[in-house]
Homo-oligomer: A and B are copies of this chain.
Amino acid sequence: MPDPGEETDMSAVRHVAPTLEMVAARAGVSRATVSRVVNGSDKVNPASVESVRAAISELGYVPNRAARSLASAQSHAIALVVPEDITRFFGDVFFASIVAGINDRLEQSDYVLNLMVASSDPGAKNSRYLMGGAVDGAVVVSHHTSDHFLERIGDAIPLVFGGRPGLDKIDTWVVDVDNEEGGAVAASRLVERGCRHVATISGPTDMQSANERTRGWRRVVAAAGLEPGPAISGDFTALGGAQAMRELLARYPEVDGVFVASDLMASAALPVLLDSGRRIPEDVAVVGYDDSPHAVQGPVQLTTVKQPSEAMGREMADILLDVLAGNERPWSTILPIELVERDSA
């Protein structure tokens, strides 16, 4: 109860939430009937529906979530779990698209979304939240192989991963693009335009998807009879991209083609390249990844591999909702990637 304005100030007094029982009394029916109306049962006398509806709006009744959840063993909430720190979450538009996609799907349901962004978990608070029945299931994106806490959560509630988790357990739902194919498409573009010294700036090596892109890149470069250049690991941030490019130029100055595994990193790497006196794409061709807004905000319009991130979000939510409804869905869903051609390669 709030502090200011004791009994004198009625307006500041916090509302005492009306219960189902109060509605029932007001409408002159049983609690069971009210419950039926609230939950949209069709087996209720129209007259009763009428009076219950009236009582509900008169009293301003809102069902208590905890009680409902306890009785029905369902929370009607799902979580989006992002094991990253806030800065990276907000810094990468990939997440924005994912959230938009999930939200879009959820709007057509009666589920709400809980965002759970945390690289560390002090006191395992978030794990307990997820396992304590606060949500019926979760979507997990940007998953690292070191995030073992997810395994425990995974056998308490259904989890849908965005990008393949590097875990042993594979009996879990995954929505992904063919990352290896993505890396291959990028490398092909470079090779086909005549690059002979092709390197890559990859994502973190503890991320499955990053490694797959690198693998695709390497395969195509080797298949073209070229010696693959260095694969420098970045961290999917702008700063990391610039730094990786500097390192690349130092170690491999003859580079004439680079696949950078995210547009965000690429957008920061481009200026480094230009500052070194190289022209893009004449001296060094660059292919990015994501087709995020960063692709067109830098000094050179980025040729890039497009990920359908919003569609991924929508698909993940769709699968989770379907599974929660008791339907079957295949473990794996692969969405198509495509090359978007611009100026950098």
Please report A residues at the B interface, Cβ cutoff 8 Å. 1-5, 9, 11-15, 17, 60, 62-70, 75, 77, 86-87, 89-91, 93, 95-96, 99-100, 103, 107, 110, 112, 114-118, 122-123, 125-126, 128-129, 131-134, 152, 155-158, 169, 171, 323, 326-329, 331
Contacts and interface: CB of A to CB of B under 8 A. Distances in A.
A156 B67 CA distance: 17
Contact of A123 (B67, B95, B110): B110
A86 B90 contact: no
- Looking at A64, A66, A75, A327, the one whose CB has the most chain B CB atoms below 10 A away is A66
Contacts of A15: 155-157
Contacts of A60: 152
A12 B171 contact: yes
A327 B171 CA distance: 48
B66 A133 contact: yes
Given A4-B328, A156-B17, A171-B5, A66 B62 contact: no
22 contacts: A3-B327, A3-B328, A11-B155, A12-B171, A14-B156, A14-B158, A17-B156, A62-B131, A62-B132, A62-B156, A63-B132, A65-B129, A65-B132, A66-B67, A86-B96, A86-B100, A86-B103, A87-B100, A89-B96, A90-B93, A107-B122, A112-B125
Contacts of A157: 14-15
Contacts of A12: 171
Contacts of A116: 112
Complex A-B, nearest 6 residue pairs according to Cβ-Cβ distance, in ascending order? A90-B96, A115-B115, A66-B69, A65-B132, A66-B70, A3-B328
Given A62-B131, A134-B65, A4 B107 contact: no
Contacts of A13: 155
Contact of A155 (B3, B14, B68): B14
Nearest to A60: B152
Contacts of A5: 171
Contacts of A67: 66, 70
Given A2-B323, A110-B125, 8 more contacts: A2-B158, A4-B171, A5-B171, A14-B157, A62-B131, A66-B75, A77-B134, A87-B100
B90 A112 contact: no
Contacts of A63: 128, 132
A270 to B, nearest CB: 14
Contacts of A68: 132
Contacts of A129: 65, 77, 112
Contacts of A171: 4-5, 9, 11-12
Contacts of A91: 96
A21 to B, nearest CB: 15
A287 to B, nearest CB: 24
A131 B103 CA distance: 20
Contacts of A87: 96, 100
B128 A62 contact: yes
Nearest to A327: B3
Contacts of A156: 14-15, 17, 62
A317 to B, nearest CB: 13
Given A5-B171, A11-B155, A114-B115, A64 B125 contact: no
